């Protein structure tokens, strides 16, 4: 456990005010600035609408009065007011939450706040509200920290060649040359991205009044389900004991936020 975590835990146990509330994940990578935020958010919105049309055509798009849709939107409504701590631009996003009927154990939040859950992740894992909030917080965190934008920028740098990197970062003259392409739904994040999303997701959920300790039970359920059959979700979201230990390490930083939210409610 970090020194900051120990201090937070001691303050929580003694009922003292914390020195600093929440987690510290630093500034997002500046590399992401090589890809225009508006362009990737527009692309995400287009792909999200296409996904919704395809689901609707198959009768798989959850109606607005579906109990699970209402549940997911209620969780999002409690979480979204806290997103600007990690990305001030997110307060202007046109947030959307939908449910897709499918056995897939998966969920995502695309750039610009486009969230979707597949019914399989709720039904197969029998997620509690706290656990569903952990999934949603994690996915929202990817969007807030602009991991897709960063991945795309790094991919384009590789294609352009290292000799252009100085000009890209320095004058930014070639930023407009970046091509927007590919399926954002199939984008894979790095291990660091996943760890960061876990931590940011813990704080979002805690501030919204969801128990961050559910992050541990969530990944235990994931691991158990994966042992029976490989999960699609874990093809882009690696799990393991290390992940649970990292979550446990940051719990002292977010538990005071959870208790504060509980008292306020």
C-alpha 210/C-alpha 156 separation (Å) is 38
| Mean pLDDT of all residues in 35-53 | 93
Per the CB < 8 A criterion, the answer to whether 71 and 87 are in contact is: no
The burial class, CB within 10 Å (0-12 / 13-18 / 19+), for 94 is exposed
Residue 259 per-residue DSSP state: H
pLDDT tens, position by position, 229-256: 656 565 555 566 788 999 999 999 999 9
CB 8 within 8 A of CB 18: yes
Give the alpha-carbon dihedral of 237, 242, 245, 249, to 10 degrees: -80
Measure the CA–CA gap between 23 and 36, rounded to whole angstroms. Answer: 27
pLDDT digits (tens, 9 = 90+) for 185-200: 656 788 889 999 999 9
Indicate the SS3 state at residue 115: strand
- Among all residues, which ones are annotated catalytic? 139
Share of the chain above pLDDT 70, in %: 76
Instruction: Give residues with Cβ within 8 angstroms of 207, minimum separation 6.
Output: 22, 79, 82, 257, 258, 261
């Amino acid at each position: 456990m970090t020194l900051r975590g120990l201090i937070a835990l001691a303050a929580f146990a003694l009922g003292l005010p914390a020195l600093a509330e929440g987690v510290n994940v630093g500034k997002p990578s500046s590399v992401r600035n090589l890809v225009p935020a508006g362009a990737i958010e527009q692309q995400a919105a287009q792909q999200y609408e296409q996904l919704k049309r395809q689901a609707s055509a198959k009768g798989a798009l959850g109606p607005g009065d579906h109990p699970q849709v209402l549940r997911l939107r209620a969780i999002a409504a409690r979480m979204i007011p806290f997103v600007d701590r990690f990305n001030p631009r997110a307060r202007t996003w046109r947030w959307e939450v939908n449910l897709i009927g499918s056995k897939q154990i998966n969920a995502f939040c695309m750039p610009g706040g486009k969230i979707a859950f597949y019914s399989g992740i709720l039904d197969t894992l029998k997620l509690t509200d706290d656990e569903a909030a952990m999934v949603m917080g994690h996915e929202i965190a990817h969007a807030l920290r602009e991991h897709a934008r960063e991945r795309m920028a790094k991919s384009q740098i590789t294609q352009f060649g290292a000799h252009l990197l100085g000009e890209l970062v320095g004058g930014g003259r070639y930023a407009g040359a970046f091509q927007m392409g590919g399926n954002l739904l199939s984008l894979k994040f790095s291990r660091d991205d996943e760890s960061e999303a876990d931590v940011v997701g813990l704080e979002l959920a805690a501030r919204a009044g969801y128990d961050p300790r559910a992050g541990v039970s969530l990944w235990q359920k994931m691991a158990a389900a994966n042992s029976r059959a490989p999960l699609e979700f874990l093809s882009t979201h690696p799990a393991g004991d290390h992940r649970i230990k990292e979550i446990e390490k940051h719990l002292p930083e977010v538990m005071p936020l959870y208790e504060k939210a509980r008292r306020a409610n």
